[in-house]
């Protein structure tokens, strides 16, 4: 697929056994998810207005294998306050990669929002994560280590820039199988990270 474009409030969902799909560019307003799939590749994925209420995330990679995203940009992320939402979530990714992730300009009404979380993942590489200009976003990057989220191994991040969140910029819960090559020196870490 060369390109996908959707107006505000519409997402891109690739799920339920989809296999061997290549998308050059997806501009999908509210974002979307890749779930229960194999070998899905999206070169550029932009959520230019992810301000839809009642959504748990802007982008998500869930229970996916051998998937890749070149560049992911989430702008104006918001979620209903009943959700502890994330602009970008990775849960159950195996052998996946993302070149760069940028979350910029969360909305002031997103008081329970977080920018990014990784829970269950194995052999995942992310080149650069940039979580900046949050407005009301309480937390930046979170890696939640828990045996319940198995497998959790070989998670590598080249660069993590996370600034300006109201609670903390970086949280790595417990001892965790994650390697982050660079973190901006002014990042506020959650206690114990």
User: What is the CA 83 to chain-centroid distance, rounded?
Assistant: 16
| Pairwise CA distance, residues 160 & 19, whole Å | 30
Q: Which residue has the higher pLDDT, 157 or 148?
A: 157
Q: What percent of the chain has pLDDT over 90?
A: 53
| Pairwise CA distance, residues 174 & 86, whole Å | 20
pLDDT of residue 180: 94
pLDDT of residue 88: 92
Tokens at 164, concatenated: 């300006």
Q: Assess whether pLDDT exceeds 90 at residue 5.
A: yes
pLDDT of residue 3: 96
- Averaged pLDDT, 8-21: 90
pLDDT digits (tens, 9 = 90+) for 62-92: 999 999 999 999 988 877 666 667 889 999 9
pLDDT of residue 112: 66
Q: Assess whether pLDDT exceeds 80 at residue 56.
A: no
CB 107 within 8 A of CB 81: no
| Pairwise CA distance, residues 110 & 102, whole Å | 17
| Pairwise CA distance, residues 108 & 111, whole Å | 7
pTM, 2 dp: 0.92
Task: Tell how strand 152-162 and strand 121-132 pair up.
Answer: parallel
Q: Assess whether pLDDT exceeds 90 at residue 174.
A: no
- Averaged pLDDT, 105-123: 78
Alpha-carbon dihedral of residues 114, 119, 123, 126, nearest 10 degrees?
Answer: 0
pLDDT digits (tens, 9 = 90+) for 175-184: 667 899 999 9
Question: Residues near 109 by Cβ (< 8 Å), separated by ≥ 6?
Answer: 78, 81, 136
Closest CA to 117 of 20, 190, 10, 37: 190
Whole-number mean pLDDT of the chain? 87
pLDDT of residue 84: 66
- Averaged pLDDT, 3-11: 86
């Amino acid at each position: 697929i060369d390109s996908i474009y959707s107006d505000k409030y519409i997402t891109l969902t690739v799920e339920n056994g989809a296999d061997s799909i290549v998308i050059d560019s997806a501009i999908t307003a509210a974002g979307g998810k890749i779930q229960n799939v194999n070998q899905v590749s999206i070169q550029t994925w932009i959520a230019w207005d992810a301000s839809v209420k009642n959504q748990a995330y802007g982008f998500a990679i869930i229970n996916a294998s051998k998937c890749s995203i070149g560049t992911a940009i989430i702008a104006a992320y918001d979620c209903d306050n009943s959700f502890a939402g994330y602009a970008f979530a990775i849960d159950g990714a195996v052998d996946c990669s993302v070149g760069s992730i940028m979350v910029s300009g969360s909305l002031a009404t997103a008081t329970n929002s977080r920018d990014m979380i990784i829970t269950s993942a194995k052999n995942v590489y992310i080149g650069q994560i940039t979580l900046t200009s949050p407005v009301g976003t309480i937390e930046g990057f979170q890696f939640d280590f828990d045996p319940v989220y198995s497998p959790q191994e070989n998670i590598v991040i080249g660069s993590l820039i996370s600034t300006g969140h109201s609670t903390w910029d970086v949280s790595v819960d417990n001892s965790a199988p994650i390697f982050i090559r660079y973190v901006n020196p002014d990042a506020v870490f959650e206690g114990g990270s």
